[in-house]
Amino acid sequence: MVSGLALGCVYGLIALGYSFLFNAVGLINIAQGSFVMLGAYVYGVWFTNQFHWPFIPALAALIVIMGLFGMACERFFYRPFKRAHLRTVLVSLVALGILLGNLALIIWDPYPKGTKGLFGQTTLRVGGMAIFYQSLFIIASTVLLLIVQHWLFKKTTIGKVMRAVALDKDTAALMGIETDLAISLTFAYSSILGGIAGMLVAPIFSIEPFLQVIGFKGFGACIIGSFSSITGAMAGGLMLGVVETLGSAYISSLYKDAIAYAFIIAFLIFKPEGLFGTRSEESGL
Amino acid sequence: MNTHRIRNGIVVALFAFLALVPTYVEAPYVIFVLNVTCINIILVLALNFILGYAGQVFLGTIAFFAVASYTHALLFAKLGWGFWPSLPMSIVVTSVLSLLIGIPTLRVRGAYLALMSMGFIIVVGDVIKNWMSFTGGVWGVPNIPRPDIGTFTLTSNLHMFYLCLALALALAWLSLLIEDSRYGRAFKAVRDDQLAVEMVGVSSTYVKVLAFVLCGVYTGVAGSLFASFNVYISPEIYSFNYNSIFLCMLVVGGLSSVPGSVLGAILLTAAIEVLRPLKEKYLTPLALLIIIILLFEPAGLVIFIERAVAALRKFIPGKRLKEARRG
């Protein structure tokens, strides 16, 4: 159950990455899962396994790298196509995903890697249950991140600018806000969220290019919750994580992914606007 | 009319080129690649219906392809149905499946569909890998027989190639007919302005589901051919990488264009063979190519051929006279 919640937190973080971009530019970043994969590689394989950096500098470096990387992606894979047909943008992002998967193969190698994380396999015993410290760490970091994010968006100028652009691009531009810069920052922020999610899952999953598919789960979390609200994204992530973990415990671990997707598809059919969303035609849902 | 003739001409020329290759090159390896090329042409044409004409970013063709291959393999190898009864059966199975998947997912647009279709690939892969008793799990299905025409069995790859080529040509021609029909226009209308389509009283969901089912039918044929051609199928053939390749082929050749799809399939199947030394990194140049094409010539490489042919035609005096007379 706790590992389900922890997994859910990770899905929720990925979902947040999607929902930020969706609200800012009305675009679902198909390559979000690749950001997660890249975060896991950079943090797990480089910083932990090779350089043995302590946690805080490694985290800071990860944030800087992922931020710059997100901006670069915006510059080369989104901005040239922003006036084109939606199909063009999506194909470009699919290409970005392929490219990142291959980049991981070029920089590192195709063999799955493990990393110990801060706590290794140590567990906390509560009553008869064993809980991984890593799971608790994931939950705690997610809560912390949400608080930081709340502060960032409500109190700082950058946050306010980003919110203004998400709300109404044209009016924001009239007010003298550099919308391109704000969108670039939004890409950076969702890339950082992806990177942190990658850092958190690195000790649980093996690090390999295939980790990209975790992005679909985060996306599913958005479908279950809603694209337009942070609460929705987090709640959707938690539900999905719990359903997946319990499903693999009680039904079949082989069909763990299939169960999660069936759950997502059921939502898509019966409640496409999600638990916390309102249906609107303009958002194209 | 003129552009239609150029378009049809290019399709015929490309197929003629493929048909002539075996008369000059007899290496078994080349014949093998030619078979793969034809199957890829059918798959790219399938993707073209949904991504090209209807403009919906569905990326799960590989899952239909896998389902079709397995249906064919199980009917043919295990139940002994024979090629010609199994082929329509796998078409029926994939089109019914595409209908079932299409109706819920096509109500939503854009990236929803893109991501759900990738999830669909994972689900299909999981089922194939884990349903041991039915699909043979990771070991796949061996000993799938080759098709037979009358009493003649197509055991050689060369004969198999002519069958694949004939079917690919027929399907390409069907694509052209559909493109020029009112359905083709409906697909493109949905792609360009969904709201306007709804306003004139056409159900955009119906049109999209139709494009989707056509995609299922085409992948059904390709899956059957592939299973029989390859003799053995296993889950790892139907990978994300293979799926990305169709997308590259379509974008590089030319979205919404039959000659573009055929050209893309031919060029990139050859390119992949050339890129073999890169091993598992062979998709890197292809993904870069997609971005370059999108940036500089979103109509794809086929537009260069079309322009060249159009330019050449100006130098033929008889043609020019005839056109002048026509007005």
Helices (H), chain B: 2-24, 28-47, 61-73, 83-105, 111-130, 132-135, 157-180, 182-192, 194-199, 204-230, 240-253, 258-274, 283-296, 302-313, 317-326
Question: Dihedral angle at the C-alpha atoms of B209, B212, B214, B218, nearest 10 degrees?
Answer: -160
Q: Which helix (H) or strand (E) holds A96?
A: helix A86-107
The answer to whether the CB atoms of A257 and B122 lie below 8 A apart is yes
A280: in domain: no
Number of domains chain B is built from: 1
- Residue of higher predicted confidence among A110 and B76: B76
Cβ-based contacts of A277 with chain B (< 8 Å): none
Tokens of A279: 């249906």
Residue of higher predicted confidence among A5 and B109: A5
Least Cα separation, residue A86 to chain B (angstroms): 7
Strand, helix or coil at B256?
coil
Would you state the pLDDT for residue B57?
84
> Exposed, middle or buried, A15 (CB in 10 Å: 0-12/13-18/19+)?
buried
pLDDT at A283: 41
Count of the separate structural domains present in chain A = 1
Q: Residue holding tokens 């985290």?
A: A59
Side chain identity at residue B121, one-letter code: I
Task: Give the CA angle between residues A207, A51, B280 to the nearest 5°.
Answer: 35
Positions in chain A short of pLDDT 70: 117-118, 120-121, 127-128, 272, 277-285
Q: Which of B109, B116, B290 faces A284 most closely, judged by CB atoms?
A: B109
Whether the complex's predicted ipTM surpasses the cut of 0.90: no
In a domain, A200, yes or no: yes
B104 Cβ contact list (under 8 Å, min separation 6):
A265, A268, A269
Q: What's the CATH number where A9 sits?
A: 1.10.3470
- Tell me which chain B residues have a C-beta less than 8 angstroms from the C-beta of A264: 116, 119
Which residues form the domain of A212? 2-270
d(CA B93, CA B91): 5
Establish if A164 belongs to a structural domain: yes
- DSSP β-ladder status, B148-149 and A129-132: unpaired
Which residues constitute the domain of residue B252? 2-326
Q: A103 CB near a chain B CB, below 8 Å?
A: yes
Residue B112 contacts A where some CB pair is shorter than 8 Å: yes
Of A94, A254, A268, the CB nearest to B247: A94
The CATH number of the domain where B32 resides is what?
A: 1.10.3470
From the list B104, B288, B298, the residue facing A268 with the nearest CB is B104
By CA distance, what is B101's nearest residue in A? Answer: A265
Nearest CA in chain A to B290: A95
pLDDT at position B216: 93
Rg (C-alpha) for chain A, rounded Å, is 18
Q: Do B291 and A77 touch (CB under 8 A)?
A: yes
In sequence order, which residues have a C-beta less than 8 Å from that of residue B292 and are 6 or more positions away? none
Which A-chain residues 21-80 have CB contacts (< 8 A) with chain B? 27-28, 30, 76-77, 80
B283 CB neighbours in chain A (<8 A) are: 98, 101-102
Q: What integer pLDDT is reported at residue A220 of this predicted model?
A: 82
Contacts (Cβ under 8 Å, ≥6 apart) of A71: A184, A185, A187, A188, A191
Least confident of A255-259, B178-182, B300-304: A255-259
| Cβ–Cβ below 8 Å for A216 and B118 | yes
Helix, strand, or coil here: A1?
coil
* Mean pLDDT for the stretch of residues B2-7: 82
Closest by Cβ to A91, choosing from B127, B247, B280? B247
Using one digit for the tens of pLDDT, what is the confidence trace for A39-73? 888 888 888 888 888 888 888 899 999 999 999 99
CA gyration radius, chain B:
20
For the segment B6-65, what is each residue's pLDDT rounded down to a tens digit?
889 899 999 999 999 988 888 889 999 999 999 999 999 999 999 888 888 888 899 999
